[in-house]
Amino acid sequence: MATRRTGRCEADAPRYSGVMGRDWIFDGHIAGIGTASGLRAVVGVWQESPFGSFADVMVQQPSGHRVLLAPTADVAGFIAATYSFDEVRVADVRARLADGLLHVDAGPLAVRAVTGARTLLGTALRAVPRRVAVHPRWLAAVNPVASLAAPGAQTYGTAGSGRAEFYGVTDLHHITSAVVSWEGSDAGTLAPIQPAVTFGFSSVPPRPSVAKVRTTVRET
């Protein structure tokens, strides 16, 4: 499936038009990857969502230019209405996370990454009962201390289109190595995600990692 550019700014992006209720709940994983060239990528691998299972990628180039790669116009529209991008592309986005490996092929982006053992923070997160750890009230309450445990990350904040968003992370593994290319060129060795990405109110932790997460987008 060829990459299709759907616009260069939020106003031109395709818009989600379905009626899905008050909360949009996405269960899956988020991977944050930085490279020596300054290209940073945030990969969402969603096992369950209102759109079914799918993957999407948010890329911030060294210049700061923000690109969304999404598999369908509906998914692109929903994400573009929730976050901020300079460019939105509908592309064939494929991601597989299994057996300590993350493989991503998304239009101009290719990632081959290896994950390591569970982090100390991941162990602590697993000690919180899941029904509590993903609940919006809990996430709003612990938000003031979230960035202390994972600099740049937040568990609650406001998003686009009058929405609120909650990130309930229940496990965390570092990424130990990665090969990343953009438009066929090597993006450089694995590196911290610095500066922080600016798609929304929260970034991912500076150290490349994969988080198990429930994201709740709430209409307010």
User: Does the pLDDT at position 30 exceed 60?
Assistant: yes
Is 96 contained in some domain?
yes
What is the SS3 assignment for 142?
A: helix
Is 54 contained in some domain?
yes
> Span 70-83, mean pLDDT?
96
Domain count across the chain: 1
Is 156 contained in some domain?
yes
pLDDT in tens, 171-203: 999 999 999 999 999 999 999 999 999 999 888
Query: Do the Cβ atoms of 117 and 52 come closer than 8 Å?
Result: no
Is 17 contained in some domain?
no
- The H-or-E segment that residue 127 falls in is none
Give me the domain span that covers residue 211: 4-12+23-219
Query: Do the Cβ atoms of 34 and 64 come closer than 8 Å?
Result: no
**Distance between CA 68 and CA 65 in Å, rounded?**
10
The closest of 89, 49, 44, 47 to 65, measured between CA atoms, is 89
pLDDT in tens, 99-145: 999 999 999 999 999 999 999 999 999 999 999 999 999 999 998 88
What is the pairing mode between strands 87-90 and 66-70? parallel
**Distance between CA 190 and CA 180 in Å, rounded?**
8
Query: Do the Cβ atoms of 147 and 154 come closer than 8 Å?
Result: yes
Is 18 contained in some domain?
no
Q: Find the largest Cα–Cα distance for the chain.
A: 44
Beta carbons within 10 angstroms of residue 202's beta carbon: 20
Query: Do the Cβ atoms of 211 and 146 come closer than 8 Å?
Result: no
**Distance between CA 157 and CA 55 in Å, rounded?**
23
**CA 131 to each of CA 127, 135, 157, 207, 218: distance values in angstroms, whole numbers, following the listed order:** 12, 6, 20, 27, 17
Q: What is the pTM of this model?
A: 0.88
